[in-house]
Structure 1
Amino acid sequence: MKQIVSTHNLSKRYQGKYCVEDLNISVEEGEIYGFLGPNGAGKSTTLKMILGLTRPNNGIVSVFGKEFNKNRRLILSQTGSLIESPSYYGHLTGLENMRIVQRLREVPEKNVMEALKIVRLDKQIDKKVNQYSLGMKQRLGIAMALMSFPKLLILDEPTNGLDPAGIGEIRELIKSLPERYGITVLISSHLLTEIEQIATSVGIINNGRMMFQGSMAELKDKSHSTIMIKTRNNKLAQELLYSKGFYSMQRGDSLVFENLMDEEIIQANRSLVTANIDVLRIEENKKSLEDIFLDLTGKEKSL
C-alpha cells in the first residue's frame, strides 16, 4: 500500500517540555486512520505539524511521499482539514461562506454544491450560519474541507459537542469517503467507541508518545481472555492445579488463568471435581477495547 502520511521522530517542545516526542505515524492510502488519545495527549499539535501550522522542533513530515517543507503548496492543494472548530462568517449564509473558500482554493463551481450535498446542507444554503445548529456548523466545516475533493482529509475531533444524532451523521459521512471519493481520512478523537466504529487502523498517543499503532484487528488481538475459577477452597485448588501444570494467580475470590484452551478448562475442572473440591463458578473475562485503551493511556487520565 502507498503511504499518504508518514512522520519520522516528530517532536515539539513548549517551554522546554515535550508535548509530542519522537512520533512515527504511518497512514496508508484509502485508510480511515483513527488518532486516539486522552485530552492533552498531543493529538492537535501533531495534526498542526502535519499541516505546517506549527513548526516541529525535530523530525520530518512526509505527505504523498514528499517532504512537507520542500513541497508545501503542492501538498496543501491536495489536502483538506478541519482543526479544532470550523471557521466561518456567522453573518453570511452557508453558500456565501462556501464561495469564499471556493475562491481561495480556486475550485470549480460544481464542487460547491457537490460538497454541500455530501454533508446534507444543500437545503440550508441560504440560511445565515449564526442560525445553524452546532452539528450543521460542523458539517459546513467538513464541506469546506471537502470542496476541493482532496486526496487527504484531516479532521480534529469532528464530533466534539454533537448530540448522538449529529455524531451518527458525521460517522456515516466519514465512513463513505474512501470508497466513494478515494479520500484517505486521518481523524483524531479521545473517544475510542467513536473511532472503533469507523477506523480501519489506529494510532494511540499518550503524553506525546505513540503507545500503539496498527490495524483495528491487531488492537482487538490484544484483548486476550482470562479464565476465572471460583471454588470452596481456592488455596487447595491452586496447589492441585499447579501440580497438573496449570499456573494461576489469586484475584479477589477467584483463581485467574491466562490463555486456557477449552480442552484445558475441561481438564482443570475434572481434576478439581475428582479431588472433591467444589467448583462454584467458571467464567471467561475478556478485555474490552476500552480496557486496552485505558491500559495504554493510563487509567488515571480523564477521557
Structure 2
Amino acid sequence: MSASAIVQTQNLTKTYGGINRVHRVDLRVEEGEIYGFLGPNGAGKTTVLKMLLGLIKPSSGTIQMFGESLSRHRTSILKRTGSLIESPSFYGHLTGLENMRVMQRLRNVPDSNVHEALRIVRLENHKHKKAEQYSLGMKQRLGIAMALLAFPRLLILDEPTNGLDPAGIGEIRELIQSLPGRYGMTILLSSHLLSEIEQIATSVGIISEGNLLFQGSMASLREKSGPSILLATGNNAKAERLLLAQGYRPIQSGSRLEFGQLEDTDVAALNRLLVSHDIPVTRIEERRRNLEDMFLDLTGKERSL
C-alpha cells in the first residue's frame, strides 16, 4: 500500500443472495483529497462505505486504512474516522448541544471539540434548540458535526446533500471544501449527483451495478470527456478496414465512425485517404462531450436517479 493512501481496497466484493452488489472494487483514496464516489442510486456506494466502517463484512477482498488492515485494527482505525451514513441519527427530544454531549461521551473528547464542531457547521446559535425542530439542512449539519467531533483524519459522508434545497447544498459544499485545508482531513463522500461531485471533488470514482468503472483525478476525467471526431461514409465497413490498416483506431458509433481528438491536419489526411480509395465521405463533425455525457456513457443511466 502507498504511504499516501488513506483508503485502499483490493478486490472488495459483497454478495447478497448469490448476486454481487459490489464486485472486485479497488478503491484508492489519497491523503488530503476530496474523493467523490459517484454512481446512480443502487450502484453499491453505501455498501462500500459500510464495509469501510466495518458495519457489514465483505464477502471477499481486503481493506486497508491508514496503512493498517481493517480486519485486524478496526478499533484503532475507527478512532481516526468520522462518518455520516445514509441519514443523521439523533434524539429529537434533545437539543443540538445535548445530542453532541451524548456523542462526546462515546468518543471521549474534550468540551472544546463540541463547541468547535458546532461552530464549523454554523449551529452554535441553535445549539439549545431541540433537534426535532431543526430544518432538514440543520439536521444534516448536526450529523456532520457529530462526525467531526473527534476531528478525524478521514471523514466519510454518504450523500451529505441528499434532500436539501439549493441553499442548503451550497452550505454543505462550502463546509466540506474547507475541511482539508483547515483541519488536514481527507474526505470520502458519495453522491448520485454529477453536478455536486464536479464542483467539490479533487478525485472521483464512478461505480455502477457494483463495478468501479473509472477512478482518477477530476482533471483526467475531463480529459477523457474531450472532443471526438465523427465520420460518415458511403461504406463504413470498407472505411474501417482501410483505416485500421493505416494505423487509425476508429470505433463504431451508430452509423458513424468515431475517433479520439484529432488535429485538423489529421482530419484532412483521413478525408484524402478515404476519397483516394473511392470511399465517399458524407459527413465530418466534431462532438464535444461534457462530464454528463461521460457519466451516461459509463453507467448507461441518468446522471441523477
TM-score, structure 1 length as denominator? Answer: 0.86
Measure how far apart 1:256 and its partner are: 6.2
Q: How does 1:1-303 map to 2 (within 5 A)?
A: 2-227=4-229, 235=234, 258-264=260-266, 284-299=286-301, 303=305
Larger CA deviation: 107-116 vs 217-226? 217-226
Aligned mates of 1:16, 1:109 — CA distance in 2: 48
1:238-269 Cα distance to aligned partner (Å, 9 max, x none): x99x99x9998998999866422134457789
Q: Partner amino acid for 1:191?
A: L
1:48-105 Cα distance to aligned partner (Å, 9 max, x none): 0000000111111111000011111111111000000000111111111011101110
Confirm or deny: 8 A CA contact 2:229 2:285 kept in the other structure: yes
**Unmatched segments (≥5 aa) in structure 2:** 274-280
Confirm or deny: 8 A CA contact 2:40 2:302 kept in the other structure: no
TM-score, structure 2 length as denominator? Answer: 0.85
Confirm or deny: 8 A CA contact 2:292 2:303 kept in the other structure: no
**Unmatched segments (≥5 aa) in structure 1:** 272-278
Aligned mates of 1:7, 1:229 — CA distance in 2: 41
How high is the sequence identity, in percent, across the aligned residues?
A: 62
How many aligned residue pairs are there? 294
Confirm or deny: 8 A CA contact 2:193 2:304 kept in the other structure: no
User: Residues 267 and 60 (structure 1 numbering): CA distance in 2 closer, same or farther, change over 3 Å?
Assistant: closer
Measure how far apart 1:280 and its partner are: 12
Aligned mates of 1:14, 1:117 — CA distance in 2: 42
Aligned mates of 1:12, 1:266 — CA distance in 2: 50
Larger CA deviation: 280-289 vs 25-34? 280-289
User: Residues 161 and 7 (structure 1 numbering): CA distance in 2 closer, same or farther, change over 3 Å?
Assistant: same
Aligned mates of 1:65, 1:301 — CA distance in 2: 34
Aligned mates of 1:113, 1:107 — CA distance in 2: 11
Larger CA deviation: 291-300 vs 151-160? 291-300
Q: Partner amino acid for 1:66?
A: E
Aligned mates of 1:268, 1:60 — CA distance in 2: 48
User: Residues 281 and 124 (structure 1 numbering): CA distance in 2 closer, same or farther, change over 3 Å?
Assistant: farther
Larger CA deviation: 192-201 vs 254-263? 254-263
Measure how far apart 1:159 and its partner are: 0.3
Q: Partner amino acid for 1:213?
A: Q
Larger CA deviation: 220-229 vs 188-197? 220-229
Aligned mates of 2:200, 2:47 — CA distance in 1: 23
Measure how far apart 1:297 and its partner are: 1.0
Structure 1: which 4+ aligned runs deviate by more than 6 Å?
245-256, 266-271, 279-282
Confirm or deny: 8 A CA contact 2:97 2:128 kept in the other structure: yes
